[in-house]
Amino acid sequence: MTQWERLQQLDTVYSQRAFDLYNRDEFPMEVRHYLAHWIEGQDWERASRDSSQAAFLFQVLLENLDNQFSRFAQEKDSFLLQRNFRRYKQNFQVSNFLSDISAMLDAADILCSALIDEELVDWKRRQQKSCIGAPDDTSLEHLEKWFTQIIECMFQLQKFLQKLDELVGKMTYDNDPILVRKPPLKSRVDTLLTHLIKSSFVVETQPSMPQGRGPLVLRTNVQFSVKVRLLYKVSELNHVMKVTVSVNKFRKFNVLGTLSKALNMAESMNGGMVADFRHLVSPSSSCMFINLVLCFVQLSLSVTEELHRITFQTQFDYQGLSVPLETSSLPVVVVSNSSQQQSAWASVLWFNMLCSDPKNVKFFETSPAATWPQFGEMLSWQFLSCGKRGLDSDQLETLAIKLFGKQQSYDSCKISWTKFSKENLPDTNFTLWVWLDGILTLVKLYLSDLWSDGSIMGFVSKGKERLLLKKKQNGTFLLRFSESIKDGGITFSWVQYANDGTPSVQTVKPFTSTDLKQIALPDILCNFRIMVAENIPVNPLCYLYPNTPKDQAFGKYYKAQSTSSFCLDSSFLSFFPYPSAFGSLCTKRPCVCVVGCDCGVAVFQ
C-alpha cells in the first residue's frame, strides 16, 4: 500500500490537513494521486542535494504527465482530467524556464555587481594611476569580453520573456503563472541591462596633447586627443551611435573641432567600439579670461588648480531598449602658456593621487594632505616614467628625512598641497615640486640610461654621502642630485686619502641641463682630471659606489673623445664646458689646470 493510499484512510481531521497541502497549483492533488507509485519510488532527498538529479526527475515527471494525459485521452469520461493534466504540465514547465530565469537573474545580479562595482572601478583607478606614471595594466579587452557576454545573455532572457508574452496572447487561464511572475522578471532584466549598458561607456584614453607635460594638462589653442569606448561589442551598432563632446560650463570653457563622431570598429586595434577624437581644441578668448579671473578671485584658486571635465554623450537604441549614455574624462587642467604646465602637472598629480571621484572639480578648494606612503609612491612613478626605474627604499627614506626629519616610521607623516607646490624649501627660493620636477626633467632628457641602470644614487644627504665614501677605497665616487639647483642638477663626490691615511671627500659644482646638453655625463666622468704632485693630471674617479670600476660602469656610454675644457678651483667646485663659457679669453682666475698654462684657463684636449 502506498503512502498516498494510507493517507486516504486517516481520520477526517488528519486527512484534511494533508489535503490542504495540495490545494494549490504548485503541486495539484490529482498529480499526487495518479503518480503516487512513481513519486514515492524516487530519492527526493538526494535530488534536494544534487541539481542534476533534480533536473532529471523533473523531466521524468513531465513524461509521466504526458503518459497520464494519453491514458485520459483514451477514456471517454476523463475529459476534465485530460484538460487539467495538460494545464498541470504547462504550469510545471512555465513555473520551472521562470524559476530558472529568476535564479539566473540572482546570479547575474551578483556577477554585475562584481563587474561594475569591483572590476570596472578597479580598472578606472588603475587608469587614473597610470595617468601619473603607475605601471598598471589599463587594457580593456577582458572587461569588453565580460560586458559583451553578460549583456548578450540579458538580451536572450529578454527575448524569452517576449516569447512568453506571445504565449499568453494565444492562451491564458486563471492564476496563470506567466501573468503573475513575468512582469517583475522583465523589470529586473531591463534594470540590469540598463545598468550594464550605462556602465559600459567609458573613456579609454584620457585627454592629452601630443607634446604635453602629461595627460590631463591641456593648453588653449593646442590640439588634444581623447578616446571613448563602448564595452558592449556588437557589429550591428558599428557606425550607428553618434558621440558628442562638451565641457563643463562651470568655468566657461569651450571645445572646438569635430565634436561628433560615430562609435566604430575601424579605429580600434582589436575591433572594439570606439570614437577617437584627435583634433579637439580649447580656444582662448578675452571673455573667457574675464570670467575666469572673476571666479579665481572669488575662490582664491590659481588657473592650474581649476579642474574641468570633458563629457561625452550618446544614445543606445537596440533590440527595443533605449538608453541615454554619458561618461566623462578625469578632470583636466587648462593653461594658456607653457610656463604654467609645471604647476598644472602638479595639480594633476595631486588630484589623481588622492581623489577617485572624477566629478570632484572643486577638489582644490579644500585639498587634503597626502600621507608619506601615497606621496612616496607617486614620486616613484614619476621617476619610473622618466627614467624606467622608480625610487628604492634608501632614496625614499632620504626624501622623507628631508621633509619630516628623522622618524622611526613615516607611515603617519603627511604633506600638504601647500607644502608640496606653494611654500619654498628652507634656504631656497623654490618649492619642493619645482626642485623635484627639475630633477625629473634632467633625468628624462640627459640621464635616463644612467638612472635606469642604477648608476645614479640620486637622493642622499651630504652627511650620509661622507659616511658611505669614507668607508671605501681611494677613488670611490657616487652621483647624487643637487639640493640647491632649482632646475635640476647632478654632482659627484669621491673619496681620496692623504699620505697619513686620512680620508677626505671632494665634490664638484653640480652640472645642469646647460652643461649636459653639451657634454654627456659619462664623458665628463671619463675625461675629468685634477692636478697632483709634479703637475700631473690624474682622473681621481676609479670606482662607482660601492666598488664597480668606472669604465665597467660607464664605458658603454662613452662617445668619441672631443675637445673639452675643465676649470677647477682649488676646492674642486667649478666645471665649465669650453668654449661656450670662456671662449679663448684668459680669465686670470686662480685654478688648478689639467694642462699646464700661465693664463689660468684649464684646457684638456
Domain 117-363 is found in CATH 3.40.50.10170: no
Contact 570, 531 (CB under 8 A): no
- Determine whether 126 is exposed, middle or buried from the number of CB atoms within 10 Å of its CB (0-12, 13-18, 19+): middle
What fold, for 364-451?
Answer: Recoverin; domain 1 (1.10.238)
Mean pLDDT on 103-123: 90
CA atoms within 13 A on the CB side of 1: 7
Question: What is the domain partition of the chain in residue ranges?
Answer: 117-363, 364-451, 456-557
Query: Pick from 374, 430, 465: which is nearest to 129 by CA?
Result: 374
* Residue 250 scores a pLDDT above 50: no
Q: Band the pLDDT of 377: cuts 50, 70, 90.
A: very high
Query: Pick from 121, 124, 135, 139: which is nearest to 330 by CA?
Result: 124
Q: Band the pLDDT of 504: cuts 50, 70, 90.
A: very high
Report the amino acid identity of residue 382. Q
CA distance 286 to 427: 39
* Residue 465 scores a pLDDT above 60: yes
The whole-chain average pLDDT of the chain stands at 81
pLDDT at 168: 57
What are the backbone angles phi and psi of residue 327, rounded to the nearest 5°?
-145, 160
Mean pLDDT on 209-221: 88
pLDDT at 364: 95
- In the numeric block, the cell 548578450 is attached to 152
- Measured from the Cβ of residue 529, the count of other Cβ atoms closer than 10 Å reads 19
pTM, 2 dp: 0.76
3-state secondary structure of 40: helix
Q: Band the pLDDT of 435: cuts 50, 70, 90.
A: very high
CA distance 140 to 131: 15
**330 vs 68, more confident:** 330
* Residue 477 scores a pLDDT above 50: yes
CA distance 562 to 603: 12
pLDDT at 34: 63
pLDDT at 532: 72
- In the numeric block, the cell 541539481 is attached to 51
CA angle 349, 351, 353 (to 5 degrees): 65
pLDDT at 99: 64
What's 303's DSSP letter?
G
- In the numeric block, the cell 659606489 is attached to 545
* Residue 58 scores a pLDDT above 60: yes
Which numeric CATH code is attached to 456-557? 3.30.505.10
* Residue 116 scores a pLDDT above 50: yes
pLDDT at 556: 93
pLDDT at 24: 60
Mean pLDDT on 233-239: 92
- 426: cis peptide before it, omega within 30°? no
* Residue 83 scores a pLDDT above 90: no
CA distance 193 to 157: 10
pLDDT at 567: 43
* Residue 438 scores a pLDDT above 80: yes
CA distance 498 to 81: 116
* 528-537, 539-548, 572-581 — most confident range: 539-548
Query: Pick from 189, 283, 258, 196: which is nearest to 233 by CA?
Result: 196
- In the numeric block, the cell 503573475 is attached to 180
Q: Band the pLDDT of 223: cuts 50, 70, 90.
A: confident
- Measured from the Cβ of residue 562, the count of other Cβ atoms closer than 10 Å reads 10
Q: Give how far Cα 500 sits from Cα of 463, 496, 497, Å.
A: 23, 11, 8
Q: Band the pLDDT of 290: cuts 50, 70, 90.
A: very low
% of the chain surpassing 90 pLDDT: 51
**577 vs 331, more confident:** 331
117-363 against 456-557: fold identical: no
SS (H, E, C) 304-359: HHCCECEEEEEEEEECCEEEEEEEECCCEEEECCHHHHHHHHHHHHHHHHHCCCCC
Contact 444, 389 (CB under 8 A): no
